[in-house]
């Protein structure tokens, strides 16, 4: 199936949302989260999940939450801040996945654009300097975030690599995504 990424429909997960058709064999954790935990996490106000449809087909999803980044972990970024805080506010891209068979068609990139647009709106309401993601230690995922979002690796542990992008830099000529 070929997807026109410009015609994607974004909606917030609801109790009535049918997510049973979503498959993600690359990461059963993501599939399991969407099917079993996303609605619970949303009711508990821990994260909010957004579904992405092409027509009636569920083709992707992402979950967002609030987060922060310590100043120490941002040493790789050249920030020009007069009196830097110990922690910076960040929008956490907690989970994101594209349905099996549809990767490479621009769906992930469109989801990132949507996340960045939400981050820009947040800065007007509450302040939000970064978008961060704890990416799985998968070279494809790391390249995706670096190439399409301008994310920089800031810390890592045995399971994930924490990556962040300064939203003041999104839309710069050196980054791929403009909102």
What is the model's pLDDT at position 173?
A: 42
What is the model's pLDDT at position 171?
A: 62
CB 122 within 8 A of CB 82: no
What is the model's pLDDT at position 176?
A: 43
Does a structural domain hold residue 112? Answer: yes
93-113 tens-digit pLDDT: 999 999 998 888 899 999 999
Does a structural domain hold residue 49? Answer: yes
Does a structural domain hold residue 173? Answer: no
What is the model's pLDDT at position 84?
A: 78
Which letter does DSSP use for residue 168 in this model?
T
Does a structural domain hold residue 75? Answer: yes
| Per-position DSSP letters for 102-158, written without gaps between them | -TTSSHHHHHHHHHHHHHHHHHHHT---EEEEEEES-HHHHHHHHHHH--EEEEE-S
What is the model's pLDDT at position 168?
A: 86
Long-range contacts: 21-27, Cβ < 8 Å, 24+?
Answer: 21/57, 21/58, 22/58, 22/61, 22/97, 22/99, 23/99, 23/100, 24/97, 24/98, 24/99, 24/100, 25/100, 26/97, 26/100, 26/138, 27/97, 27/136
Q: How many domains does the chain have?
A: 1
Q: Domain range for residue 79?
A: 5-166
Does a structural domain hold residue 159? Answer: yes
H or E element in which residue 95 lies? strand 87-98
Supply the CATH number for residue 101's domain. Answer: 3.40.630.30
Does a structural domain hold residue 174? Answer: no
Does a structural domain hold residue 172? Answer: no
Does a structural domain hold residue 111? Answer: yes
What is the model's pLDDT at position 174?
A: 43
Low-confidence ranges of the chain (pLDDT < 70): 171-179
**Nearest-angstrom CA–CA distance, 151 and 117:** 16
pTM, 2 dp: 0.90
Tokens of 5: 């990424």
What is the model's pLDDT at position 130?
A: 93
């Amino acid at each position: 199936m070929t997807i026109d990424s410009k015609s994607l429909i974004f909606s917030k997960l609801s109790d009535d949302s049918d997510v049973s058709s979503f498959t993600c064999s690359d990461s059963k954790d993501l599939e399991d989260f969407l099917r079993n935990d996303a609605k619970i996490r949303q009711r508990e106000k821990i994260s909010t999940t957004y579904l992405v449809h092409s027509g009636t087909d569920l083709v992707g999803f992402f979950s967002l939450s609030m987060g922060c980044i310590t100043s120490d972990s941002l040493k790789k970024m050249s920030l020009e801040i007069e009196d830097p805080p110990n922690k910076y506010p960040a929008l956490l891209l907690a989970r994101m996945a594209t349905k099996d068979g549809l990767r490479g068609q621009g769906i992930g990139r469109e989801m990132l654009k949507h996340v960045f647009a939400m981050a820009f709106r947040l800065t007007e309401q509450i302040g939000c300097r970064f978008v961060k993601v704890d990416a799985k230690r998968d070279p494809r995922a790391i390249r995706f975030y670096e190439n399409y979002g301008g994310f920089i690796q800031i810390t890592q542990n045995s399971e994930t690599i924490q990556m962040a992008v300064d939203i003041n830099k999104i839309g710069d000529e050196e980054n791929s995504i403009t909102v």
